[in-house]
Structure 1
Amino acid sequence: MARPKKLNATKQGHRTKEELAEAELQENGLEQFEKLNIDSTPKELKGIAQKEWIRVVPLLEQLPIAELDYDRVKRYCQLVGITDEAYEHVSKYGTVNEEGTKKTPQFLVYLDGLRELKTICGQLGMTIDSRMRIVLPQENEKKQSVYDMFGVDDDD
């Protein structure tokens, strides 16, 4: 399996001009895809999933998420709804059956949902690690010394 790609600005190490030019062409190719429509919520989403769509889609607009990612974002929201409902059941009734011998189906759904969410979040840039690969780092303001602030130089 190939490593996930990074934007040029986030790459470390020595790169040739040809490698950087090729990567820049690929990055510019992301701009050609239609942006994800944030104005309409999918009709199939209900309850928690619909609220998650409304919460997360405007945030995803800042990343290079395209209309092609629509299904993945929708699945993410559905999984959030499913895992939240399963968690409510688990917190109310516990993780094992009445006999204390088996894990409840809701607990298993919750665990499976968390695993799937972890995967989807990484693919959509919703984790710190994945955002570090696709978001350009911003330089902090350069700290000024007292000499720089007041214009004091060597000949004063």
Structure 2
Amino acid sequence: MAGRKPKLNANKLGNRTKEELEQSEKVENGLNQFTKINVDSVPDGLTENAAKEWSRVVPLLEQLPIAELDYSLIKKYCEVVDQNDTLYRAISSKDGIEGMVDPETNRKTGAFMAYMESLKELRSICGQLGMTIDSRMRLVVPTESEVKQSVYDEFGVDEDD
């Protein structure tokens, strides 16, 4: 899809017409019609480490508009995290640079290349699920946690000073 990635209305800056705001409001409200993902059940077939990652990340993702439709993407994320950790341990178990580069041919090892590919896949999935700062900024509506204070209130200056 060409163009900018969509943002929630509350995160948009600049002037918008009523029609643009209404249209994007309909799209935002459409996110709530999907069945929420079940936080309590860990999918079958995950390794022990992938199941731990599922248990860690799904409750956090529940705060975002994640639905049951995202089930397979979240499962794939957990599998790739497990593979990535396994590859990292294989690479780091060798002394020095030997885990990354074959000393005979001066080429990257298969484990290192697979590790780098898993990192790329993780970055892609994390962006799709709202697990990066940039993608969360598009999804999370900022809240006004502090009431703005006037200079007088902030520095304790009275009007008669």
Q: Please give the TM-score of this superposition, normalised by the length of structure 1.
A: 0.90
Deviation track 1:42-90 (CA, whole Å, cap 9, x = no partner) reads: 1111122111101000000000000000000000000000010000001
Alpha-carbon distance between aligned partners in 1 of 2:29 and 2:12, rounded to the nearest angstrom: 16
> Separation in 2 of the partners of 1:5 and 1:145?
35
1:137 paired residue among 139, 142, 146: 142
Give the counterpart letter for 1:99 in structure 2.
E
Q: Which amino acid aligns with 1:105?
A: G
Contact 2:35 2:68 in 1 (8 A): yes
What SS does structure 2 have at the residue aligned with 1:114? helix
**Which SS does the other structure have where 2:40 is aligned?**
coil
Give me the whole-angstrom Cα distance separating, in 2, the residues matched to 1:119 and 1:146.
45
**2:107 aligned partner:** 102
Q: Which residue of 2 aligns with 1:66?
A: 67
1:114 paired to 2:119:
yes
Alpha carbons of 1:26 and 1:97: their partners in 2 closer, same or farther (altered >3 Å)? same
Matched, 1:14 2:26: no
Q: Distance in 2 between matches of 1:117 and 1:124?
A: 10
Cα distance, 1:4 vs. partner? 1.7
In the TM superposition, what is the alpha-carbon distance from 1:37 to its structure 2 partner? 0.8
Question: Quick check: 90-99 or 33-42, which moved more?
Answer: 90-99
Equivalence for 2:79: 78
Root mean square deviation, CA, Å: 2.0
CA–CA separation in structure 1 for the residues paired with 2:131 and 2:72: 16
Q: Distance in 2 between matches of 1:87 and 1:140?
A: 40
Amino acid at match of 1:44: G
What whole-Å deviation, never above 9, does each CA across 1:4-23 have from its counterpart, x for those lacking one? 21100001111001100110
User: Number of residue pairs matched?
Assistant: 153
